[in-house]
Amino acid sequence: MGRLDGKVALVTGSARGQGEAEARLFSEEGASVVVADVRKDEGTKVAAEIAETGGNAEFVHLDTTDAEAWEKAVRNTVSSFGKLDILVNNAAIWKGEGGIEDIASETWDVLFNVNCKAAFLGMQAAIPEMRRVGGGSIINVGSTLARHGAATSAAYSGAKAALALVTRSAALQYASEKIRVNIIHPGSINTPMLREGTHGKHLDIANRIPIGRLGQPIDIAYGALYLAGDEASFVTGIELVIDGGTQA
């Protein structure tokens, strides 16, 4: 038996990177998976490949900053698979910001909308369905930048720090309904977002990581798998750091 047999998961930002690894691993462990992303071609391909290997998966186009799109995505999930047990708020963006005086107001708003508000909207849409089936697991994806200052990433760091506190608040609010809410803080993970954000200099970061390498998307996916499953039934409101020892 898989660790997620019979469960239904919606994973945002799952057309590539960490989200893709999470969607594929969840399927391998028995879950039906909704691949949700704004990247239609890549997301459709991931869902099709999961189905080709015997899994249950479908793609849903989702702008995570749009409340109506969230409602539609959750409705489609329940229509296709009957319920929603797991939500992974993985979708994020990161761009070079510069110092406080250099950050445009529009950049600040976009980074907070995608990296914090979107997860709030996802929780609002998903929680009623989780309540209907007697519980569920919400996994928000933060960043180790939420836990310390960053000279050139104030907006991104601020958004992820806010998400961590939203996670804790939600965990307390819904614990009695068996809806668990946790957050994973990845360190430097070898994803398209990291490679693009560092302009191809991502490998230089590995020298500063105690374990001696960049993280891989599967490293985060295994953490999400634990939080998603029944093995973590007594775990809510935690911040799980997966960073190769950087913050030890």
Catalytic residue set = 156
Please, which residues bridge with residue 141 across strands?
A: 184
Contact 134, 84 (CB under 8 A): no
How many C-beta atoms surround the C-beta of residue 120 within 10 A? 18
Residue 198 is encoded by which pair of tokens? 């560092």
Name the H helices within the chain: 17-28, 40-52, 67-81, 105-112, 118-132, 154-174, 192-197, 217-228
| 26 DSSP assignment | H
**Whole-angstrom distance, CA of residue 186 vs CA of residue 197:** 15
**Whole-angstrom distance, CA of residue 237 vs CA of residue 209:** 26
Q: 234 Cβ partners below 8 Å, 6+ apart?
A: none
Helix 118-132 and helix 67-81, axial crossing angle in degrees, nearest 10 = 30
If we measure between CA atoms, which residue out of 40, 139, 124, 136 comes closest to residue 89?
Answer: 139
H or E segment and range at residue 57: strand 57-61
If we measure between CA atoms, which residue out of 241, 215, 182, 244 comes closest to residue 17?
Answer: 215
